[in-house]
Structure 1
């Protein structure tokens, strides 16, 4: 692999090109500089592009056909990062410029500069797939082809309906976990009971409540997540209290709002468009699923952002007002153009994972049926992290689909 750094001076608001500017960074990875470009859009919101170490199977496979551009989406990594201090100082209005529609316009400005105007191929993983469908909606002329893994969004589905679809999937993941590791039910119940009765703090100073413990269920969406949760629960106590080792491990496995404020502030906004506030949808909809409030068994939650995640962290508590303002925002820009997606002529291939805990299978398949010419590999062989952990298998399958005329729907 050979690497090159690229930085681009771009408008904060593309509708105001003469206004405030930001820097957007991307890392070029090549084995053959004569190959066409592939833009990689990773998960999020709020996560930078992966930093290659040389053993990434999907990337090694991609480099046989492409020169790859790993984009730090605006606000992440080296792209004018949005830290908690920036979010607090600039407020909610500033953060509305960091959604998929702005990321697509960044990509288009970058494409023109790097390719001289030639279209390129995009690979979207998870939230990067959401961005890819926005790309097909607003700038399909910039795309030669599109590949998506675990990231076909529910076009036309709001945040509340998305969580109504996902909570049962998370419940099924819990049931599968306890079936595989029956003794974990008693351990989880003991930990949750202890946390409900005591003021426990993580090494960062963040309150570790029963709800925070339940949020470790975000692990269950990965291929090895159930095993990792089991190992965490093997020996959580030292005497009458939780062990330092357990609390340190819980800290590492938690998605801290401090490390990724954009993720927590904009997560529900990834589903928002047109009129209607998200209104802390995950919290509201959870009330419809009382099994997540029971204590026998304790059900872990998934990729949901709750108000307490700000309240319980002394570093993030000042941002609660910004989070509330975003949750109450009544109007958002559109992220998808249904008519344009129906008329799509850009080759699109997508992997849809049957028990994906983060992007619901049925919503993804519905979107695939909507987009003109989309071809789908619907598989139960991988979880949401299939692209990263399959040693190039998922990437190879998508590229085979792209080059084949076979209908995979």
Structure 2
């Protein structure tokens, strides 16, 4: 009997399934994946279609009920929703410094099975266990949209319809192309931030100068360096994070010292303890037959403007020196950065012959996913209906239920 709990407006049931670590070796090692079934009260026994939610990331657990997910209430009007903790995250078999093999080569070999291709094959086993032969609907946010395009490429028979928000990847671009396109968007987002809060430009520089001259320690004991402070720009793609950073900076100093209030808040935002796979696999999600070789770090040299600017969601090799949650994974991350034999993630021919209804929100000013790459992919997937909007930032799905409502209307021919 699967555990079930109720909270206002939701009935939640735990689902677990053992799956192969390597789907090409079904008789080998297994891992457990977890998903939370969510249904509206009073509809537990209804024959509702399934909607699988694929979270952004990589390396982030699924949305928790009661969190910032405006879309969930809209989805529950029509669907039985499944919130999947993608392999390695949340309540699925966790992959982090505490659970991965101590040998870096063995850990790297294991983590090569934690990209979108393996996540899709996990989802197909889940679908068969829960829905039998019936295809289900998929909602992919950000990296979850990348996974949805992989799903359309390799297992479209399992799909009834697909909704994608801020997650149409380039089918061919490698990490260098991705970051070369991303850095100017990060600069533009930073300028938008300082247009809203002009006094923060000098305040941020004051913090950077102080950190360059002093040994400042966060609550966990690790040093807050100037370059680590600059990574606070990773949230600039979300409509809520401008205000979060501003409110941190307002209390940055206690006299001439960096304040404890500020350090506590920064610690929570720069640590990868909660999502180490994001750091370890971030560049690998763009690799198909090539190595990343720390792409974001190399490409950054082409943009000297970042000397005194906030950077975005990029991952740099020095993270694995400065973050205690990542330090034990440094050698593993180096091996993954040099790995070249990454399999393809998308099938352009199959996408060109697609028959699954697909609607995708493309955010015009998305800091994380390049608009032109997304539009090229939208044109390459037969029948995909794009909605291009500047009304929302990358977190539009969680901020406003109308985003999912519009995509459902597009797929069903109402819009």
Q: Provide TM-score, normalisation by structure 1.
A: 0.95
Q: Deviations over 1:79-132 (max 9, x none)?
A: 111121223524101001111000000011111111111111100001100000
Q: What is the SS of the residue equivalent to 1:229?
A: helix
| Structure 2 counterpart of 1:153 | 169
| Structure 2 counterpart of 1:311 | 321
Q: Partners of 2:274 and 2:57 in 1: how far apart?
A: 13
Q: Partners of 1:174 and 1:48 in 2: how far apart?
A: 27
CA contact (8 A) 1:207 1:313 kept: no
CA contact (8 A) 1:310 1:320 kept: yes
| Structure 2 counterpart of 1:352 | 362
CA contact (8 A) 2:234 2:311 kept: yes
Q: Partners of 1:371 and 1:95 in 2: how far apart?
A: 29
**Structure 1 residue aligned with 2:287, among 238, 256, 272?**
272
Q: What is the SS of the residue equivalent to 1:8?
A: strand
Q: What is the SS of the residue equivalent to 1:84?
A: coil
Q: Partners of 1:124 and 1:273 in 2: how far apart?
A: 21
How many residues align? The count is 399
Q: Partners of 1:283 and 1:342 in 2: how far apart?
A: 34
1:295-334 matches, cutoff 5 A:
298-334=308-344
CA contact (8 A) 2:276 2:325 kept: no
Alpha carbons of structure 1 residues 315 and 147: separation in structure 2 relative to 1, 3 Å: closer
Question: Please, what is the CA RMSD of the aligned residues?
Answer: 1.3
Q: Deviations over 1:17-36 (max 9, x none)?
A: 00001111111111223211
**Structure 1 residue aligned with 2:264, among 232, 243, 248?**
248
Q: Partners of 1:167 and 1:127 in 2: how far apart?
A: 18
Alpha carbons of structure 1 residues 347 and 382: separation in structure 2 relative to 1, 3 Å: same
Structure 2 residue runs of 5 or longer lacking an equivalent are 1-9
Alpha carbons of structure 1 residues 27 and 314: separation in structure 2 relative to 1, 3 Å: closer
- Is 2:224 the counterpart of 1:208? yes
| Structure 1 counterpart of 2:274 | 259
C-alpha deviation, 1:396, in angstroms: 0.7
C-alpha deviation, 1:5, in angstroms: 1.1
- Is 2:121 the counterpart of 1:112? no
Q: What is the SS of the residue equivalent to 2:388?
A: strand
Q: Partners of 2:170 and 2:20 in 1: how far apart?
A: 29
Which stretch shifts more, 100-109 or 171-180? 171-180
C-alpha deviation, 1:57, in angstroms: 2.5
**Structure 2 residue aligned with 1:40, among 53, 66, 83?**
53
1:122-201 matches, cutoff 5 A:
122-201=138-217
Q: Deviations over 1:317-342 (max 9, x none)?
A: 22111111000101101110111111
CA contact (8 A) 1:24 1:79 kept: yes
Alpha carbons of structure 1 residues 55 and 77: separation in structure 2 relative to 1, 3 Å: closer
Alpha carbons of structure 1 residues 281 and 54: separation in structure 2 relative to 1, 3 Å: closer
C-alpha deviation, 1:205, in angstroms: 2.2
Q: What is the SS of the residue equivalent to 2:382?
A: coil
Q: Partners of 1:57 and 1:118 in 2: how far apart?
A: 27
Q: What is the SS of the residue equivalent to 1:39?
A: strand
Q: Provide TM-score, normalisation by structure 2.
A: 0.94
CA contact (8 A) 1:352 1:376 kept: yes
| Structure 2 counterpart of 1:397 | 406
